[in-house]
Amino acid sequence: MFIAKKSLPRRTFLRGLGTTLALPLLDAMVPAATALAATPAAPVRRLGFVFMPMGSDITRWTPKSETTLEELSPTLASLAPVREHVTAITNLELRNAYPGTHATSNAAFLSAARAKHTESTDYFLGTTVDQIAAREIGHQTQLPSLELAMDLLQVVGQCDNGYACVYQNNLSWASPTTPLPAEAHPRLVFENLFGEGGTKAERQAALRKRASLLDYVKDDMAKLKRELGPSDREKVTHYLDAVREVERRIQKAEADVADNPLPDLDRPVGVPAAYADHARLMFDLQVLALQGDVTRVITFQLARETSNRTYPEIGVPDPHHPLSHHGNDPEKIAKMAKINAFHVSLFAEFLAKMAATKEGNGSLLDHSLYLYGSGMGNPNVHDHTNLPILVAGGAAGAMKGNRHLRYDKPTPLANLHRTLLDRVGVKLEKFADSDGLVELGI
């Protein structure tokens, strides 16, 4: 591998024993014979979506300033270190999510489409915004898109007011009749990104023998680093350190479960017991996937609608779904808001890691665009108006942050989806019930 006189291809991998490890964007990937050789490599654009279930207490969510995030609300307070990268948007709605259910909240979030009312397999929705993006910007990567979740088990049958469970299980739909299942197991996500091969049983057997993914690519890695400049060597070192740290945490989770004497038939090996540890690991896997350009489109469901997950780690032992039907009980509302703030804090940590990951002439966050929010406004009455919505990232210079954008009247969330597509170079005249674009540019 010689790169002194010619550039390193962007799709460069380190390979070994079934392992494929993509590299982050390096200056050496710029054509050496051009004037660009002395400048950081041109960035790509990425698009991500994080779904928060069951709405929010909008009074604790909404920023106090009409125009900026200088004075953050209680729920959004953890965004303070990254506010320059974030825009809050108030008064967006999902008209096609009515008559108002948890199933349609999840289903319409990325499709802005009306779900067919059925309990059977004749479900019908719409192609989601992430999959429209994947068709246009995902063809140059190993994975056109990556679908992630936090719930390990899919539910089946009829889940909510006569709607099939498929509407709550899946955020992403490749077509109106093709939902894309999400993966919640960190080990399987890691293998999907970096390779392992074989059946589940074979992979589990291999886990007991392998020390580290990086051990299999160390020869290629050493050769590569000798031929890179100081800046690129530092980038590769940081990236590989991050890979090894994710591996370490997965292996520790596996060891913790293996050492647990109590039966736990529902929880696969390698899933951290604490929600926050699991979520952070899933977010870190997203950083690696984007940094290595394994994919440019990601969706992540923080929890399924109607989830009865509890959050004892933040002092909320009550199930989330019953809390969302608070009946205006101040104590229940406060607990629900605490869950909202907890979820936002995990997203804020993720944004901070993206901002700290250097790439080209900026950071990974500068060259990405993420939508965070819910398909439900006030969960107590199942409404889909005044949704809690955040947009983060720079979209390679097409976005600015530290803004609060408030609409005077309810405006289609589809307008935002169409705008996000526009910012990553995908042009549409219409998406679902969109009637315009959102002013997010510089």
* Mean pLDDT within 202-218: 59
Q: Residue 106: its pLDDT value, please? A: 96
Q: Where are the domains of the chain?
A: 16-31+43-423
Phi and psi angles of residue 28, each rounded to the nearest 5 degrees, phi first:
-70, -10
Q: What percent of the chain has pLDDT over 70?
A: 78
From the list 213, 227, 74, 430, the residue with the least C-alpha distance to 236 is 227
From the list 350, 420, 296, 387, the residue with the least C-alpha distance to 109 is 387
The C-alpha atoms of residue 321 and residue 309 are separated, in whole angstroms, by: 8
Residue found by looking up tokens 């969109």 in the block: 434
From the list 93, 166, 169, the residue with the least C-alpha distance to 124 is 166
β-strands 172-175, 178-180: how paired?
antiparallel
Residue found by looking up tokens 């890179």 in the block: 228
Residue 124 burial class via C-beta count within 10 angstroms: exposed 0-12, middle 13-18, buried 19 and up: middle
- Where helices occur in 68-159 by DSSP H, the ranges are 102-111, 129-137
* Inter-CA distances, 86 with 43, 223, 350, 397, 402, Å: 20, 40, 13, 14, 5
Q: Bridge-partner residues for 200, per DSSP?
A: none
**Which pLDDT tens digit goes with each residue over 51-62?**
999 999 999 999
Instruction: Name the packing angle between helices 275-291 and 330-356 (round to 10°).
Output: 30
**Which pLDDT tens digit goes with each residue over 256-301?**
555 544 333 333 456 888 999 999 999 999 998 998 888 999 999 9
Q: What percent of the chain has pLDDT over 90?
A: 60
Other CB atoms within a 10 A radius of the CB of residue 379 amount to: 23
Residue 375 burial class via C-beta count within 10 angstroms: exposed 0-12, middle 13-18, buried 19 and up: buried
The C-alpha atoms of residue 229 and residue 89 are separated, in whole angstroms, by: 43
The C-alpha atoms of residue 10 and residue 14 are separated, in whole angstroms, by: 12
Q: What's this model's pTM, rounded to 2 decimal places?
A: 0.81
Phi and psi angles of residue 159, each rounded to the nearest 5 degrees, phi first:
-110, -35
Is pLDDT of 38 > 50? no
Q: How confident is the model at residue 233 (pLDDT cuts 50, 70, 90)?
A: confident
SS3 content of the chain, % helix, strand, coil (to 5): 40, 15, 45
Q: Residue 33: its pLDDT value, please? A: 38
Q: How confident is the model at residue 248 (pLDDT cuts 50, 70, 90)?
A: confident
Residues 359, 24 contacting (CB under 8 angstroms): yes
Q: What is the average pLDDT score of the chain?
A: 84
The C-alpha atoms of residue 66 and residue 20 are separated, in whole angstroms, by: 48
More confident residue, 1 or 73: 73
DSSP 3-state assignment of 281? helix
Q: Residue 3: its pLDDT value, please? A: 39
Q: How confident is the model at residue 200 (pLDDT cuts 50, 70, 90)?
A: low
